[in-house]
């Protein structure tokens, strides 16, 4: 799932006397259910301008020069293609889902940049159309490992075009947590959690259940967990109990980059489930933090069937609305996002990893090194986040997304976290 991952606005934060520039491409995605996007004053114009597209995007990973005139890969596309792009920023996955599935707004958008959770929900709602990959000139440039990940494909159809990707790891304050943690056991084992009680942070999202399931994959192999996002009722209940067992030791349920950096970066929290791009930003700022496992290395305990050394990767992808009025310009945009020009800049701006291996140059090179991009094709200790579905490969089926929401609600209610308000579609 996506912690309230990953759709936080990126901001400049003062941490430990340093200014840390954060982008929330894959930071927080579901979070509090805030109101939907506010459309531009001109409203939809596709009917009168065939070269106009409207794209729903989280704040951060798509830049048109408004934050920094020198950071802009929308204007060059408009000049080269003749297509006009209207970026409509949505604060949460819930807002994007509402805008694409309810009310008049569903007919006003051509595409959306979606998290794995949002992708699965939109596909299930038939709010997005299968991709005609032959219309995407750079599709073959995408890492096959990402293009074939569970969130991108449903049945025999491809719905998602990978754009950037991130990973959940066990983050820790290196100066305060010794010896260094080696696996998710450090976070979910009650004995280990008690050692750092009151200084632990986890995502305020159902993805935490998936991370707990990875811990159980090694800690309780008799459960038979294979994919931490495809759980039977017994396995989901065990994951819920694993989180409940350490709930008293958790101090922070994070829903934004700023919370992670503010708490883990200055030592208020010393251990937690965080995103690799957050660790990267803190490390570059000189903060004494690190994360395990080293993402996508080709060796590790996952190679022998365990989950202790496994990272959870999350791919943010472009989807085409089922009601897209202008697929010509939309597919031109999709092709543009696979270019090195865009991939390098988007990776550098967000500190996430590009989806195109050939873009691991220039400003994106450091991120590719941090994400071990060169070993991605053969990495054995990585699992890709996707929406839980009742239909899965397990005998007897799996628990649904609704069941995961119910399990997470029981945890947050016990922790005293108020429920998020309902969200409705924007006027369009």
What residues of the chain score a pLDDT lower than 70? Answer: 1-50, 103-107, 293-308, 427-428
User: Number of folded domains in the chain?
Assistant: 2
- DSSP for 249-263 reads GEEEEE-SHHHHHHH
Residue 265 in any domain: the answer is yes
pTM for this model (two decimals): 0.87
Look at residue 32 in the predicted model and tell me its pLDDT.
29
CATH number where 393 lies:
3.40.190.10
| Nearest Cα to Cα of residue 116 among 317, 390, 401 | 317
For residues 16 and 137, membership in a common domain is answered with yes
Residue 380 in any domain: the answer is no
Look at residue 211 in the predicted model and tell me its pLDDT.
97
Residue 363 in any domain: the answer is yes
For residues 36 and 161, membership in a common domain is answered with yes
Residue 378 in any domain: the answer is no
Residue 34 in any domain: the answer is yes
* DSSP code for 28: B
Look at residue 421 in the predicted model and tell me its pLDDT.
80
For residues 45 and 20, membership in a common domain is answered with yes
pLDDT tens digits, 10-57: 333 333 333 333 333 333 333 323 233 333 333 344 445 669 999 999
For residues 345 and 250, membership in a common domain is answered with no
Residue 7 in any domain: the answer is no
Residue 425 in any domain: the answer is no
Look at residue 103 in the predicted model and tell me its pLDDT.
64
Q: Which tokens in the block code for residue 74?
A: 């929308």
For residues 237 and 357, membership in a common domain is answered with no
Look at residue 308 in the predicted model and tell me its pLDDT.
61
For residues 127 and 98, membership in a common domain is answered with yes
For residues 99 and 246, membership in a common domain is answered with no
Neighbours of 15 (CB within 10 A): 20
For residues 83 and 66, membership in a common domain is answered with yes
For residues 144 and 268, membership in a common domain is answered with no
Neighbours of 140 (CB within 10 A): 11
Residue 105 in any domain: the answer is yes
Q: Which domain holds residue 108?
A: 12-165+315-373
For residues 139 and 22, membership in a common domain is answered with yes
pLDDT tens digits, 315-356: 999 999 999 988 999 999 999 999 999 999 999 999 999 999
Look at residue 44 in the predicted model and tell me its pLDDT.
42
Look at residue 426 in the predicted model and tell me its pLDDT.
76
For residues 222 and 285, membership in a common domain is answered with yes
Residue pair 256/31 in contact by the 8 Å Cβ criterion: yes
Helices within 296-400 (DSSP H only): 327-337, 340-350, 365-370
| Nearest Cα to Cα of residue 100 among 84, 88, 85 | 88
Residue that terminates a domain, selected from 373, 404, 423: 373
CA quadruple 24, 27, 31, 33: dihedral sign: positive
For residues 193 and 151, membership in a common domain is answered with no
């Amino acid at each position: 799932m996506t912690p309230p991952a990953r759709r936080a606005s990126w901001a400049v934060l003062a941490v430990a006397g340093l200014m840390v520039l954060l982008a929330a491409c894959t930071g927080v995605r579901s979070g509090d259910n805030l109101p939907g996007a506010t459309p531009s004053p001109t409203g939809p114009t596709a009917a009168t301008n065939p070269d106009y597209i409207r794209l729903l995007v989280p704040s951060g990973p798509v830049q048109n020069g408004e934050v920094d005139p020198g950071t802009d890969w929308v204007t060059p596309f408009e000049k080269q293609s003749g297509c006009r792009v209207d970026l409509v920023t949505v604060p949460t996955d819930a807002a994007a889902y509402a805008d694409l599935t309810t009310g008049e707004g569903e007919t006003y958008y051509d595409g959306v940049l979606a998290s794995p959770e949002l992708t699965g929900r939109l596909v299930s709602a038939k709010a997005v159309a299968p991709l005609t990959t032959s219309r995407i000139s750079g599709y073959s440039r995408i890492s096959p490992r990402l293009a074939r990940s569970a969130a991108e494909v449903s049945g025999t159809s491809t719905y998602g075009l990978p754009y950037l990707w991130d990973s959940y790891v066990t983050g820790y304050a290196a100066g305060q947590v010794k010896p260094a943690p080696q696996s998710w056991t450090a976070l979910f084992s009650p004995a280990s959690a008690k050692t750092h009680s009151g200084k632990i942070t986890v995502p305020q999202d159902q993805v935490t259940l998936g991370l707990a399931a990875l811990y159980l994959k090694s800690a309780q192999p008799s459960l038979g967990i294979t994919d931490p996002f495809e759980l039977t009722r017994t396995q989901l209940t065990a994951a819920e109990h694993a989180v409940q067992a350490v709930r008293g030791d958790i101090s922070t349920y994070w829903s934004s980059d700023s919370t992670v950096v503010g708490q883990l970066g200055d030592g208020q929290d010393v251990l937690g489930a965080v995103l690799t791009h957050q660790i990267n930003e803190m490390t570059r700022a000189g903060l004494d933090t690190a994360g395990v496992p080293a993402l996508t290395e080709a060796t590790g305990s996952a190679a022998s069937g365990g989950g202790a050394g496994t990272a959870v990767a999350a791919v943010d992808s472009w989807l085409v609305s089922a009601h897209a009025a202008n697929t010509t310009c939309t597919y031109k945009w999709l092709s543009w996002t696979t270019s090195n020009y865009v991939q390098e800049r988007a990776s550098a701006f967000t500190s996430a990893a590009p989806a195109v291996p050939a873009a691991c140059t220039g400003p994106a090179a450091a991120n590719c090194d941090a994400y071990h991009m060169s070993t991605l094709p053969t990495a054995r200790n990585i699992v890709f986040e996707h929406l839980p579905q009742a239909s899965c490969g397990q005998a007897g089926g799996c628990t649904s997304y609704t069941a995961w929401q119910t399990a997470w609600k029981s945890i947050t209610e016990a922790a005293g976290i108020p429920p998020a308000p309902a969200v409705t579609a924007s006027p369009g």
